[in-house]
Copies of this chain bind each other. A is one copy, B any other.
Amino acid sequence: MRSKHQISSHFLKVIFLLLILGCSASPRKSMRSRRPCKEMVFYFHDIIYNGKNFKNATSAIVGAPAWGNHTILANNNHFGNVVVFDDPITLDNNLHSPPVGRAQGLYIYDKKEIFTSWLGFSFVFNSTAHKGSINFAGADPLMNKTRDISVIGGTGDFFMTRGVATLMTDAFEGEVYFRLRVDIKFYECW
């Protein structure tokens, strides 16, 4: 009997140790996997209203600094412009491909000296392929080749997800059209 008890208490200690190391630590530090649980690539297309293109426009200037207006992006790297958008999402880089969802929200230009922006928006899906939304927020220093923003939540097929989305400017035509490639890596799936 004595030796069994010894094993028993020894095992319990090992188990406790493993639990403490393996589990309790996980909400705190670094045991989490940096391998995505899901990956997706999309493109979205932004055509800004310029006073003449209402029919095709997918976004509009809605805020401007004292030196700006709501028809033309402001001087000083558009600092202070706020733009609301409802942009088509496509699976490839073709504006005329059938949209699979809409990117909706706002971006702001937030620096005098260079072009840089900040984004708060959602991908909204309502097709047989995907139903639900992915919510994003983050800084977009758009002169960099790639920029990372946060996936801060999701609903429907993307219930409670979190992750990182890498933005790349895939096209930029004058100041009316741009296209972003978005590589989404989810690290929390439910």
Residue in B106, B109, B150 whose CB lies within 8 Å of A118:
B106
Residue of B nearest to A122 (CB): B139
Could you say which of A58-66, A89-97, A169-177 contacts chain B?
Answer: A58-66
Most chain B CB inside 10 Å of its own CB: which residue of A24, A80, A116, A149: A80
Residues of B contacting A63 in the complex (Cβ-Cβ under 8 angstroms): 62-63, 82, 84
Contact, CB under 8 Å: B155 / A189: no
| Interface size, A (range) | 35 or more
A138-164 CB contact bits vs B (8 Å, 1 = yes)? 110100000011111111100110111
Chain A residues engaging chain B, CB cutoff 8 angstroms: 3-4, 7-8, 11-12, 14-16, 18-19, 22-24, 26-35, 37, 49, 51, 54, 57, 60-66, 69-71, 79-82, 84-86, 102, 104-106, 108-112, 116, 118, 120-122, 124, 132-133, 135, 137-139, 141, 148-156, 159-160, 162-164, 187-190
